[in-house]
Structures are given as C-alpha cells and as structure tokens.
Chains A and B, each alone.
Chain A
Amino acid sequence: MRIIYHLIVKELKQLMRDKRMRFLALAAPMIQLAVLGYAATTDVKSVPMVVCDGDRSSASRDFVSRFTNSGYFAVEDTVDSPNEIDRHIERGNAWLALVIPPSFSADVLARRTVKVQLIADGSDANSSNIAIGYATQIVNNYSQEILLEMLEKTPMASKPARVIPRVRVWYNESLTSRNFMVPGVVVLVLMIVTLTLTSMAVVREKEIGTMEQLLVTPIKPYQLILGKLIPYTLVGMVDVTFVLVISAYWFNVPIRGSVFLIYGMSCLFILNTLGIGLFISTIAQTQQQAMMIAQFGFFIPFMYFSGFIFPIENMPHAFQYVTYLIPLRYFLEIIRNIFLKGAGMDTLWPDALGLVVLGVTVLSVAILRFNKKLG
C-alpha cells in the first residue's frame, strides 16, 4: 500500500508542478463547459430571410408578418426582383427567401390558390429542414384562417370540426437544446481529461527513459498501474464536481436524479477511459503516436457515433450494433437520464452493465499487455 501511495503522490506532484498542466487539468474543463454549453445548440431561431414581395399590399404584408412574429424568422432584406435573391443566398446572408407573386391579394380575395415560392439554402441541411418545417406550419395556419373566414361569411348552422392537439412535453419542457447538450459536454470533457492524461502517462516514462528506473525498483506491475490510474481518477472526480456545479448553477440544467449516482457512474466510465488510455500507452512507441491514436482512433469516433449529437436511432441498422462498443454511448444515456428524467438504477442498469463489461474487458487487456511488455 505504501508503495502505491508514494507512486500516487509522485504522479500528482508531477502533474501539478507544471503550472500549465494544473490549469489544463482543473480549470480548462470548466471554461470549456462554460463556452461549449452555449455553443452546442441546435435551436433554430431568427432564421435570416429575404422577402421578394411582388404584391406590396396590406394582405401580403400581413402574410410576411406571420413569419416575423413567429420568432423563427428575421427579415434581413426586401428585394424587388427574384434575381436579387441569388446574391443573398450565395453569400449566406439569408437562408430562406420568400417570393410572393404580384397577384397575391387579388387571388386571396377571389378565392383562387396562390403559389408562394420558398427558396432554401440546402448547404446547411439540418437548419434548412427545420426552417422549412416552421414555414410550412405558418403557411398552413394562414390558409386555414382564410378558409374559416370564408365559412363564417356563409350562413350555416354548424362549422367543420377540428382535431386540436394538446401538446405536453416531458423532461425538457421548454425544448431547449442546452438541457440536452450540456450533460453531453460534461461527458465529453471528462473523457478528454482522463484519456489524454493516461494515454501519455506510461509512454512518457518510456520516452524519457524513466521506465527502466521504475523497473529496477521492487515495484510490482500492479502497483505501478494503480499508481498511474488512481491519481487520474482523482483528477477526473474533481473535474466532475466542477462541471456539475457549472451545469446546475450556471446553465440551470435540472439535475433531477441522484448526484451520488452520477459520481458512481462516472467511476464506471473512468474505468473505461483509463483502460483505453493504458491500452494506447502499450501500443504507442512515442507520445506523438499515443496522441494520434487517441485522437483518431477514439475521440473522433466516440464524438460522432455515441449519440452525442447524431441520434443512434437514425444510423443504419447494422451500424447501430457497432455503437455498443463505445463506452461513451452508455454514459451519455445514463447522464442524460439522470439529469433530465431523474432515472435511477432500476432503469439504468443495462447501460451501467454495458460500462462495467466494456471497462473490465479493456482494462484487463491493457493490463495483460502492460505486464507482457514489462516481462
């Protein structure tokens, strides 16, 4: 035990001695979360729009105001001819263009169908898709109003019935993407800190030649491994505390479940990142290789395929099985459910089990390889 204790102290001292490292391991995660919590938003608000109103009547102005009053659209400019739209969309000044024909008010009065054109910049497919959806709903409502007005003018005993949706949203009542993304960023930051530190921890000793020194001492391999892993777990836990405080008090993301459960699950997750880090340490010859393997082999696939942004349900069916190999997938599910749904172990155990199985596997493989290298 004493040996492990001394190794831990040595590793922590080494880590904290460097002013820059101290900052990166402890302060940077908070700054990252504070910035990225604002950045990671898929909300589509005030979509820039150009209007080409060929009619310029009070009816067409009323129609345009439906767009601006909805809060989803902001009119950047009004143009006189449809040709001027190109310039705006090419430059990206506007994502949408609304072309109202000169006959708009006359047609509406005469109860003829008016063709209104909507031009969308498809180069940002996600935002355009959402914006077109909003526009369609606004136009549908407007159409409906015209029809109902017409019916009111015709004397009748009854009106056509409507089905009215009464919508209730659970867990994230205001549908703010921050509530969904901030727990995800917490997970990402925790992964980055623990994985970067461990993946280089062992290679560094190899590269600067202190590995031989450690090997001639009576330290056993398991003591060496624990001495490397425990300090980084501690750093990880401190980071978890920081980022939880920021999520709750700065971003006001609700933490409905148990905070202790978050710590427990974070430990299971760190088991995975430390295992992966140690594993990278055993295959990399230099710290640069370790960095490349960590980044291209783990960070990027994890960020893209874990459901952090891109929902797993939307991936091709066969590929969805591949995502079961990504520990981040389970941890994201767990953290989001604890934060927003207040979930407990009764619903989270399958994901927790996934973390344990993956973590134990990768850690054993890493330790076996590590021992073989030493032997």
Chain B
Amino acid sequence: MPGFSLKNITRRIKPIIVKEFRQVRRDRVSLFILLLLPTFLMLVIGYALNFDVKHITLAVYDNDRSSASREFIRGFGNSGYFDMAGYARSNREIDAMLESGVARAAIVIPADFSKNLLADRDVAVQVVMDGTNSNTATSALGYINTIIQTYSAGIRAKFMARKGIEMYVPIDLRPKVWYNPELASAKFLIPGFIGFILMLSAVVSTALSVVREKEQGTMEQLAVSPLETMEILIGKTVPYLIIALISSALVLLMGFFLFNVGVRGELAWLYVGIVVFLLAALGQGLLISSFARTQQVAFMMAILSSVLPTFLLSGLVFPIRSMPWLLQMLSNITPTKFFIVVIRGVMLKGLGPEAFWRELLYMLIFAIVTLAIAARKIMAQRMAA
C-alpha cells in the first residue's frame, strides 16, 4: 500500500502538525499557560512549601513557678520547634487557648514539681495536644517527648554524679540520611512535581482536542479528508509533546539553579523517562477526548482522572505504602506513580535503567493501550460522521 511508506506518512502528517502548531501559536493564552505557568508554580511551590514542623504554638500553665519549672519550660523554647503562645493561669484558660487555636499544644506543670524532683520522686506533667492535623501533632508529640526525656536525663546525670557513679550513654544512634542529607522538602517535592505538571499539561492539551471537533462539527470535515486516524492522532499530540518537553526543561533548570536539586544520574535516561511518560499522559488525554461528547464532560473527566489521582495516589505527597492494599493496587492506574519512581531514581539517587526498567515498560504499555483504544474510538466516530 503506497499510503504506508514512511515518506508518504510524513508528507501527510506534517501539515496537521503545522496546523495544530499554528493554532497553538495563535492562541497566545494557551501557549503562555502551558509554557510559563508550570515554571512559575514550581517557583512558588519550591519556595513556600515544606513539611518541617516548626513554630508549634505552646501554652504553659505553671503551677509551681520555681526555678526548676522555669528551666523545664526553657527546654521547649530553646528547642527551636515551639513558639510561646502565652502563660495561662487556670485550666480553663488552657482549654480556651486550644479551642480558639491560639495554641496547638499545652503543658501543665503541677504545684509540687520542684518539691518532688528534689525528693527524688517522679513527677507527671500534663501534655495536651490539638490533634486536628495528625501529621504535625505526631511530630510535635515526638519533640515534646524528646525534650522531656532530655530533661530527665539531666536529672539522672546529676543524681549519679551525687552518688559517684559514672554516667554514660548506652546506645548512641547515628542517623545518616542518603540522597537528601538535610531532609529538604524541596528535594522530595520537586521531582514529583515535575511529573504532576507534565501530566496535567499533557492531559489538558489533548483532552479537549478531539471532543472540540465533535462539538463544533468539524469532525465531519476530518472524516472526509483522506487522513488515517493514526495520522490525526500524531498530528494532535506532537505539538504538545514538544511544548511539554520545553516546559520540563525550564522546570529542570529552575530546580537546579534556584533550589539546588540537580540530576545525579544520566540526563539522557531522565529524558527517555519523560518522553515515555508524556506519551502515556497524552494517551490518557486522547482517551478522555474520544469518550466525552462535550468539552464540559471532558474537562470534568480530565480533572477527576488526572489531577486528583496524580496528586493523591501517585506517591507525590502521600506514601503509597501507607495506603490499604486495595488502594495500592488502584494506584497503578496513574502512570505518574511509575514516573515518580523513575525521576526520583535518576535525579536524587543517580540510578540507571537497571533499577527502573519495569516502570519504563509499564508506562510504555500504558501509552500503547490508551492510544490504541483512543484510535479505535475515534475511527468509529469518523465512520459515523
């Protein structure tokens, strides 16, 4: 068949790509959004977001008011994790401060605090924690426990010195963090965010492409033209693939220069990953476009199938391991999950394809399946039109 020679195909696809490119170029708003908004968003995200739990507001109700209790309280201020929200004079004030959100945590020191400690008797200190945000509350409770343990260790050291027993630390735990020694949130978030942005740009630019033609009635025009369905698909995806590649280069450069997140592994493998992932994302977009009848429906499907799963199910923020089994299975529907393994592997760990070929293969299969179903659907619709 002469129509299937490579030269023939390129000769015929080129005009569609050019047409689609022209349409994008004429549409300044879309071009601006696709190229610059992702970079801008990443700038703000890298700058503003982190998981560090600091500035926990703490209320104190000191019934003892001794030098010992003041020293105990100082331990919290000095740790750098707590901001003093104020000193309460009654339990009711403590309650009010927690209810209004002025304080997230409170400490109540009993009246016999110093007296008991002097007499070598244990003292119970009440800790009240606002558990609304369980993530920060868990970390904050950890800090409080450590500060109190340190205080107790100080008492013990003095006691042992008094009795003439030598003091030592039995187990000295040396944590060593790989890949991201300072545990910077930016290093963790930026590679994942690149995946998030690429997914959204790809789905946004293709989800409406076919359905728009259906809604505006230009599908009939395409139907009478001699183009193969595959050629239409390629024509519709290549311009956006190129735009997304440029935008990902911008985001990578910014991550490197502004947030010091470099690429430890091979840049070439990173781009292999990006291209395969983009094909999968474009496939998902076209699939949506081929199923929806109106652009409103396509938009809704795009948001519900790309934004939320990519944000919540991909391991971008929430660890997949902590999810229930069924959901861990379900998380496989989003290719971003696999891309994040690849990009974190290359960027942070400096790994090569031997570590993530399975993920690459999965994304490739995902791309082929979605594109094939979309092509079949669109072919059927062209026949009908």
Contact = CB atoms under 8 A, between A and B. Distances in A.
Contact of B212 (A38, A39, A120, A287): A287
Contacts of A207: 215-216, 295
B152 A162 contact: yes
B7 interface: no
Given A48-B321, A336-B132, A319 B180 contact: no
A2 B318 CA distance: 50
B232 interface: no
Interface string B344-360: 11001101000100000
A177 interface: yes
A113 B165 CA distance: 15
B146 interface: yes
Contact of A285 (B29, B208, B317): B29
B135 A163 contact: no
Interface string B319-356: 10111101100110000000001001100110100010
Interface string A158-174: 11111111111111111
A116 B176 CA distance: 11
Interface residues of B, number: 127
Interface residues of A, number: 127
A160 B49 contact: no
Classify the interface of chain B: helix, strand, loop or mixed: helix
Nearest to B129: A169
Contacts of B29: 284-285, 289, 292-293
From A146, A164, A168, A300, residue with most partner B Cβ within 10 Å: A300
Contacts of B207: 291
Interface stretch (B33-41, B220-228, B268-276): B33-41
Contact of B134 (A129, A175, A197): A175
Contacts of A169: 128-131, 137, 141
A200 B134 contact: no
A179 B134 contact: yes
Interface in B82-129: 98-101, 116-117, 119-129
A310 B176 CA distance: 26
A146 B170 CA distance: 7
B330 A35 contact: yes
Interface string A312-323: 011110010000
A91 B345 CA distance: 8
Interface string B1-31: 0000000000000000000000000010110
Given A147-B170, A169-B141, A293-B29, 16 more contacts: A18-B297, A21-B297, A126-B188, A156-B163, A160-B156, A164-B123, A168-B128, A171-B131, A285-B29, A287-B296, A289-B29, A290-B299, A292-B29, A296-B41, A314-B51, A319-B48
21 contacts: A36-B312, A41-B318, A46-B321, A48-B321, A90-B345, A118-B173, A123-B344, A162-B122, A164-B122, A165-B124, A165-B125, A169-B130, A170-B98, A172-B134, A286-B27, A288-B205, A294-B299, A305-B49, A316-B47, A319-B44, A341-B132
